[in-house]
Amino acid sequence: MIRYGGIFILSALLSFLITPLVKKFAININAIDVPKDDRRIHKTPIPRMGGLAIFLSFVISALCFSRFNKSVIGIVLGSLLLVIGGMIDDIRPVKPLQKLAFQVLAAFLLIAFGINVSCITVPFLPGDGYIYIGYFGIPITILWVVGITNAINLIDGLDGLACGICFISSLTLFGVSLISGRYIAVLLTAALAGSCIGFLPYNFNPAKIFMGDTGSQFLGFALAAISIQGAIKSAAAVVVAVPILALGIPIYDTLFAMIRRKINNKPIMEADRGHLHHRLLDMGFSQRQVVFIMYSISVILGTTALLAMMLTAKKSFALLIVVCSITLAFGIEIGLFSRKSKN
């Protein structure tokens, strides 16, 4: 545990020290977020590309402690690809299909380095319920990576929100990986959690810098990759419940957004002001209150994910159904499926 504490502290310190340098760099190259529509909560221009500091601190820490493990190299290379794409997008907008191409290519890099979904768990089958899916794991891996990467991007709408939730998700996956003995994943989640917490003082309300697409793309990809390495691949992660609960906020918010747009005959990829943080703001909560509410929900879901590790496959699956039902009821109650929020 001392080793993992060391990588967490190193990553946090590096992130804290590098962020001011990245801020100056972002200003010099005009990577500035200027509010142009009502979806933007901030009212003044703020530099973005802060995710570069998160990425650099993660990579330095991970490589120092991992001795250039094959899986770590795969995650670093895939992350680098998305960070480059994110930096370009933070300077000038990149088309959605171009972003998707970067994400799919990064997912293929993971697969090339042996990080992929190789089996799924069906809890009601006899025996251990494991089905080895062979090459069918390739599209599932790509879908998971692309989905989580975009989900983190969608919740990056308030100061400190995405960064804090990624910190909580990293801690959850740290616990999951530690319980299941996936020690490379433990190391990576410690580095990722440290890089998030080191950046958060600059990103919390009122934010001095945004993580930008550089950060949201990297954090989403890293969490997706590490969850495959540390949770989905683990025999202890009895069903898909564990990674879904660990990354609950971004997954549920993204699914609700897709359903909402479908119900209202809107394009699935069209941005709107109907996400959970928007609804809570419309209900009268302040930015900080909304962020702490969503942190609390993420902690509850993360704790539930750790609980699921201790259960049988059937009980874990039943727990996921209960959580999904409660989440659905909550979403309906606050109007996540409608155009207008419920006050």
CA dihedral 118, 119, 120, 123 (to 10 degrees): -160
Q: Cβ–Cβ contacts within 10 Å for residue 40, how many?
A: 13
Q: Please, which residues bridge with residue 32 across strands?
A: 47
Instruction: Return the HEC string of 177-221.
Output: HHHHCCHHHHHHHHHHHHHHHHHHHHHCCCCCCCCHHHHHHHHHH
Residues, the chain, total? 343
Q: Which residue has the tokens 């998971």?
A: 144
Containing 32, the helix (H) or strand (E) segment is strand 32-33
Using CA atoms, how far apart are residues 17 and 198, in angstroms rounded to an integer? 8
Provide the 8-state DSSP code for 288: H
* Residue type present at position 1: M
pLDDT of residue 340: 55
pLDDT for res 237: 41
Name the stretches of the chain with pLDDT < 70: 37-43, 121-130, 230-240, 269, 337-343
* pLDDT for 294: 92
Whole-number pLDDT of residue 43: 67
Give the separation between CA 243 and CA 171, rounded to whole angstroms: 12
Distance in angstroms (rounded) separating the CA atoms of residues 22 and 52: 7
Q: What is the pTM of this model?
A: 0.89
Any residues with CB less than 8 A from the CB of 130 and at least 6 apart, and which? 119, 120, 121, 235
